[in-house]
Chain A
Amino acid sequence: MELVCPAGSLSALKVAVDSGADAVYIGFKDDTNARHFAGLNFADKKAQDGLAYARQKGVKVFVAINTYSQAAGWSRWQRAVDTANDLGVNALICADMAVMDYAAERYPELPLHLSVQGSATNYETLKFYKNNFGIRRAVLPRVLSLKQVEAVAQYSPVELEVFAFGSLCIMAEGRCYLSSYLTDESPNTCGACSPAKDVRWEQTDAGLEARLNDVLIDRFEEGENAGYPTLCKGRFKVGDKTFHAIEEPTSLNTVELIPQLHAAGIKAVKIEGRQRSPAYVENVVRTWRRAIDLYNTNPEHFRVKKQWKEDLAKVSEGAQTTLGAYTRAWQ
């Protein structure tokens, strides 16, 4: 299985490459990618440097152009595709039919991967993207159980990539507008979920309050771990309960599923976190490299090591990890 790793900056890219990535994925410095945050991503020169570095070490580079263009911005999306092609990247990760249509027509040799933002959860959908744009791979949203992943894989006309580790998005990606409902920016339109510009922290008598566009998302007592106010991970009132009505802050970690994912024919596992530090990238990539290598050398006796768990827990949201939708219990 290929280990696909995030790089939000050149230093993260170098760390990912040096820590054992088979491929790194990056985005350009604008709203054409779904991690459009200030200070992140690659402009032309940095992208060239990153590509040269990865290439030299035999690591592939994918470029995510995975937001949805609106009329006025089309030239940016088009330019992003052109730039990626000119750079000679190994694949584009796209979600918008317009982007795929353009790329497939203009650069038929450039491999296309369907982004998780494309929201493909079944093989009929995969057939659509394969038939129309010749995609070679699809990243599955984090909403399928392991059984469902296996079933999709069985009939999939393209390679599949699944999420291995990182922040847990519990909605079908590409079909979640919660962020724009509160802030006007969403992953689809702007490449941002719960954008930082709308976040406000305030210490009050009731505790530390986290607001998103003035809406109270959570309130933390002293000593409580105060997470980023991603709106689906807030504490809200439903009936007479105040709780994480949608989801607790937690990270996905599927290291123990390596054998099953391999058996299902999953071609690649993806680490989430272009917005995270090089230290995070190093820790997660190194641990996963070890896990995959151990599995490859001795699949029969694969066991999750305590050390891996401890290392990964250090970089997990709320220091918790979960198998997420992969297990029925979670659903």
Chain B
Amino acid sequence: MKLSLGPILYYWTKQQTLAFYEQAADADVDIIYLGETVCSKRRELNAQDWIDLAKSLSQSGKQVVLSTLTLLAAESELKTLRKLCNNGDIMVEANDMAGVQLMSEQGVPFVSGPAINIYNARALKVMKKQGVTRWVMPVELGRETLQELLADAEAMGIKEGIETEVYAYGRLPLAYSARCFTARYYDLPKDNCQLKCIQHPEGIAVHSQEDDELFTLNGIQTMSGRTYNLESELSNMQNIGVDIARISPQGDETFEKVNQFRKALSGDLKTIALSEAECNGYWFKSPGMDQVVTSS
């Protein structure tokens, strides 16, 4: 099974971002996704910067994929999307059907990101016709659904030529809104958000009135409060046909996680206990925030 590094979901400074990808170039991952997927106001790197960075990263021998915005509402956003989709060289991860439309018009293979709603093999078949060669399962789905979906895909004869990727580490991207919750927290209108996200490289924690860490505000995106972690499930994932496990960049420990996942994959499996701030519920058909303890 391969390991991927998902796109950075938070707003980091240009310097932080470039430093991160310098490390990523040497990290033990097979695939690197990069690009702005959350908010088009985040322009520390513009579309051309991302394309240039992707091209330079592909010299590291890893597969590099440009991830596109998830919620596209303005013409300017479609313009950026077109630029990314027409880069001519680097593979694209579409996170909205607009990207699917553009890539399918070009007849170029592409990745279907986690915000594209593929819940069954018939939908995957439709996507395969558009040129999808890899899909990332929506985060609210789990093992059983995936197993059945892949069995159906096999029976329908469409499994060949499609890789399956699972979001395996990081806070879960749970929702996208017209509203910017970071700006709301600062009592600023979205139009004048002052790019406050940049002050929160891991988002802003939302607790219940009883101090449960529920959600994380990340601009227009709402993320889980807990960090999803499927490290203990890697071998099961492999067994049911998952090709790639995605690690979503989060904090300084990201590359440490990469190493741990790599070790786990190479059979160095100690019993991995999740920390209190972690969850794995979705994978086991439980509420996403739950922590399901398994015997494996």
Contact = CB atoms under 8 A, between A and B. Distances in A.
Find the residue from A98, A188, A217, A232 having the highest chain B CB count within 10 A: A98
Interface string A299-331: 000000000000000000000000001001111
B176 A172 contact: yes
Given A68-B119, A216-B212, A172 B71 contact: yes
Contacts of A11: none
B74 A148 contact: yes
B117 interface: yes
B257 to A, nearest CB: 21
B113 to A, nearest CB: 11
B215 A180 contact: no
B96 interface: yes
Interface in B252-296: 281-282, 285-289
A52 interface: no
Given A213-B287, A245-B217, A331 B180 contact: yes
A29 to B, nearest CB: 21
Contact of A98 (B96, B102, B122, B209): B122
Given A97-B123, A183-B287, A143 B177 contact: yes
A297 to B, nearest CB: 33
Contacts of A247: 179
Interface string B178-209: 11110011000111000000000000111111
B287 A176 contact: no
A122 B75 CA distance: 8
B179 A188 contact: no
B148 interface: yes
A95 B119 CA distance: 11
A74 B191 CA distance: 43
A295 interface: no
B227 interface: no
Given A71-B152, A181-B289, A175 B101 contact: no
B175 A143 contact: no
B78 interface: yes
A181 B287 contact: yes
Interface in A205-221: 213, 215-219
A215 B172 CA distance: 18
A96 interface: yes
Contact of A175 (B115, B207, B212): B115
A151 B214 contact: no
Interface residues of B, number: 71
B211 A237 contact: yes
A216 B208 contact: yes
Contacts of B289: 181-182
Contact of A122 (B78, B115, B151): B78
Contact of A132 (B122, B126, B212, B224): B126
Given A188-B117, A236-B206, A180 B287 contact: yes
A119 to B, nearest CB: 7
A218 B208 CA distance: 8
Interface in A237-273: 237-239, 241-242, 245-247
A235 interface: yes
A38 interface: no
Interface string B65-87: 00000111111011001000000
B149 A237 contact: no
Contact of B120 (A69, A234, A330): A69
Given A128-B97, A143-B71, A238-B204, A177 B172 contact: yes
B117 A122 contact: no
B53 interface: no
A186 interface: yes
Nearest to A183: B287
A225 interface: no
Contacts of B30: none
A293 interface: no
A247 B175 CA distance: 13
B98 A122 contact: yes
B288 A331 contact: no
A60 B208 CA distance: 45
A100 to B, nearest CB: 8
A32 interface: no
Nearest to A117: B117
A325 B97 contact: no
Given A101-B126, A175-B70, A242 B177 contact: no
B78 A124 contact: yes
B82 to A, nearest CB: 9
A151 B205 CA distance: 35
B63 interface: no
* 9 cross-chain pairs, A with B, having the tightest CB-CB distances, nearest first: A98-B122, A71-B148, A143-B178, A124-B98, A68-B119, A181-B288, A128-B101, A176-B175, A125-B97
6 contacts: A69-B120, A125-B98, A172-B175, A175-B71, A189-B119, A245-B185
Given A122-B77, A182-B214, A216-B210, 17 more contacts: A71-B120, A71-B145, A96-B117, A122-B72, A122-B96, A124-B78, A125-B101, A151-B75, A175-B117, A176-B175, A178-B175, A182-B289, A183-B287, A184-B286, A219-B209, A237-B209, A245-B184
